[in-house]
Amino acid sequence: MADTPNSFETFWPHYVRAHLNPRNRVMHAVGTSAGVAMALAAVLTRRPRLVPLALVLGYGPAWIGHFFIEGNRPATFGNPLWSLKGDFVMLGKMIAGTMDDAIAQATAETAADSAAEAPAGTDPSLN
């Protein structure tokens, strides 16, 4: 991310573009779900020592997805809170079946930005 986002709305397209591979998104869904389940279990059983396990279960699959499937750096490292919110928004969109629409919009914005930044008389698709 060249520009630092100043809101979740400006962060979201960057987050989406970091999650283009469906297998990475599945890893996030598994991790987010397992992490929430373990955090809930920690609260319900009054066993705070389970919280670190919730973090490992939540972030482990997501980071594996980034490093070994997507081949990029997790957004958590630069924007931990917006990244966490992004995980939940993405999970909700995956369940609703609208994540592909979000990807199409974010990639279209990237193409439009690339075209706008290209010097006059050049074709950005050739880069």
Closest C-alpha to 75, from 96, 65, 53: 65
Residue 94 pLDDT: 98
CA distance 28 to 57: 10
Residue 43 pLDDT: 98
Residue 90 pLDDT: 98
Residue 110 pLDDT: 74
CA distance 39 to 88: 15
The model's pLDDT over 4-31, given as tens digits with 9 standing for 90+, comes to 789 999 999 999 999 999 999 999 999 9
Question: What are the Cα distances from residue 51, in Å, to 47, 77, 79?
Answer: 8, 20, 21
Predicted TM-score of the model (pTM): 0.82
> What is the mean pLDDT of the segment spanning 61-77?
96
Helices 99-117, 80-96: axis angle to 10 degrees equals 120
Position 127 confidence tier, pLDDT thresholds 50, 70, 90 = very low
The model's pLDDT over 28-42, given as tens digits with 9 standing for 90+, comes to 999 999 999 999 999
The model's pLDDT over 91-126, given as tens digits with 9 standing for 90+, comes to 999 999 999 999 999 999 877 666 666 555 544 444
CA distance 88 to 61: 15
